[in-house]
Structure 1
Amino acid sequence: MRKIFKYLVIMSLFVGLFYLYNKNQISSFKSQNIRIYSNKINNSIKITQISDFHSNYHINLQDLINEIEDFDPDFIALTGDMIDRKDDNLEITLNLFKALSKLNKEIYFIYGNHEVGHMLYDKYTKEINDIGINILDNDYVTIKVDDENINIIGFKYAYFEYENLAQYERIQGDINLEYYNLLLIHSPDNVETLLNGSEDLILSGHTHGGQIRLPLIGPIVAPGQGFFPKYDKGIFKIDNSTLYIDSGLGNSLAPLRAFNPVQISNITIEATK
């Protein structure tokens, strides 16, 4: 009986420690500072990317805003799944959007799969527009940062790749490909089927960084890719294009992370040295 009691105490301690560790992983966000080089620009471009927030109420919004304010990006990219499909409370995410809007930076948003399938999609879209955030729904905008011309192309999450392919071909015919081309796409799954070599940088999310990462093994599972995903998080080269995957500021389904804290990405694009 005493031995069983000891085992129960040890198990309780283990469960308690894991709970505290996991809570830290989903509440104490990291800021990833990323540098990317390009021979198409002369001046630096600074972008803050936020992805897969999933209405994470554990995040201290003021700390997040302070971090972004210190980085002072030229604009902010929101790469989808900012709400969670199973949650009908939009306020947590809308409060984040309102706080971001007070930074007086242009914000560009794309839909992820949790937005596309959400019961409050229309209401959510209206709220985003009312806040003043730019929705890129299979569309693009050309902006100027200092003397740099940038095409920002944004795609709604599509369950079939060809849904985006036809739209992308249309956009490619409209834009000046000599400009710096930034593609926002929620999921990196099968991203190669969409690319044609004109993309300088692709910003993506969806994977949650593999959610649970083990030392010497790496990412365990990612949405859409299954076990041991090829594209988990970080920088990948695809021919002449650079793919960057942010591992997200929240979780869906199981709220578990290990060796993979929630994050935002502060990205600086610089002229090739």
Structure 2
Amino acid sequence: MTIKIILIALLLIIAAVIAIIYHDMTHFVVREYEIHSDKIEKDAVFCLLSDLHEKDYGDGNRALIEAIDSAHPDMVLMAGDMITGQNSHHKLNPEPVLSIIRKIVDKYPVYAANGNHEYKTWAIGGEGEEAYLNYEKVLTDLGVVLLRNTGTYLEEYNMEIHGLETSYEYFKKFFKAQMDVDYINGFFGVPCSERYQLLIAHNPIYFEEYCKWGADLTVSGHVHGGIARLPFLGGVLSPALMLFPKYDGGLFKNGDKYMVLSRGLGMHTVPIRFNNPGELCVIRVKSDKKS
């Protein structure tokens, strides 16, 4: 009798785990984050998308588009890996992200930076590079401001937005390569301390380095929330195959500087989510600037 009860309990646990995994692989949540600054000229609302990996939430990503519209953002940020890198087993499928862009770009400015999947598709050359460049052209033709190690200044907000795109060296497994501030300065120079500095940087592991450079707010992705999340322990595994990563998702603070780390919207290397649905981030930056 005891064995039977144990078996029934195990089956119920397995069924519950499967149900949670299925739910979290097919649903997303909206999480809101609020930050204050005396540098930004006026309040700003950002919707942050990351790590879509060619996933659809409804026909033409209708559910995501509706969630973005409901947030009434001033702009939309994309923090990379919206596609899955092309290789011998996978052909680039940009339609899921393009279906979002077509519906929102006339309503909200869209600023994007690349992640490791965009980078590696471009860097492999040949058909991969051609596929990536075609994707990039469609994005920019639609009106997306793609920041490939470049930046732009929004005078209305007294804010600079920079997009950092790093090489393979900074996405290694089991290892964190050293990143010096001079590396970031090489792309953007020394930032103006009187302007609000927003950095789109796909890999959050370098949060301290971004802060040293001068980023007031970093928005990142890459970690997928740790794939599975456990109570009190957080995300289990990073893309670098490190257990219980320090930065797994949410809002992080370093002095007076912040990072919002999206748990992402899709899946890739380990194609499951557990206790970790996809996430659309809504970031509200409130101006404390004295008139």
Which band: TM-score by shorter chain?
Answer: 0.7 to 0.9
Q: Report the TM-score when normalising by structure 1.
A: 0.86
Tell me: CA distance 1:55–1:178, structure 2 relative to 1, closer, same or farther (3 Å): same
d(CA) in 2 for partners of 1:114 and 1:163?
A: 23
Report what 1:150 is aligned to: 159
d(CA) in 2 for partners of 1:15 and 1:170?
A: 49
Alpha-carbon distance, 1:204 to partner: 0.6
2:255 alignment partner, one of 231, 239, 245: 239
2:21 alignment partner, SS class? helix
Alpha-carbon distance, 1:69 to partner: 1.1
Q: Does 1:171 align with 2:188?
A: yes
d(CA) in 2 for partners of 1:143 and 1:225?
A: 38
Alpha-carbon distance, 1:128 to partner: 1.2
Conserved 8 A contact 1:31-1:263: yes
Tell me: CA distance 1:205–1:27, structure 2 relative to 1, closer, same or farther (3 Å): same
Report what 2:99 is aligned to: 95
Report what 1:136 is aligned to: 147
Q: Report the TM-score when normalising by structure 2.
A: 0.81
Report what 2:279 is aligned to: 263
Report what 1:54 is aligned to: 53
Tell me: CA distance 1:201–1:62, structure 2 relative to 1, closer, same or farther (3 Å): same
Q: How does 1:60-99 map to 2 (within 5 A)?
A: 61-85=61-85, 87-88=90-91, 89-99=93-103
Residue by residue over 1:165-194, the C-alpha shift from the partner in whole angstroms, topping out at 9 and shown as x without a partner, is: 435345234x54311110110001233234
The structure with more strand, counted as a fraction of residues:
1
Report what 2:233 is aligned to: 217
Q: Superposition RMSD on alpha carbons, in Å?
A: 2.7
Report what 1:249 is aligned to: 265
Report what 1:208 is aligned to: 224
2:45 alignment partner, SS class? strand
Letter in 1 for 2:105: S
| Larger mean Cα displacement after TM superposition, 228-237 or 85-94 | 85-94
Conserved 8 A contact 1:158-1:164: no
Tell me: CA distance 1:78–1:185, structure 2 relative to 1, closer, same or farther (3 Å): same
List alignment gaps of at least 5 residues for structure 2. Answer: 122-127, 171-178
Letter in 2 for 1:157: T
d(CA) in 2 for partners of 1:190 and 1:167?
A: 11
Alpha-carbon distance, 1:45 to partner: 0.9
d(CA) in 2 for partners of 1:18 and 1:99?
A: 35
Quote the sequence identity (%): 28
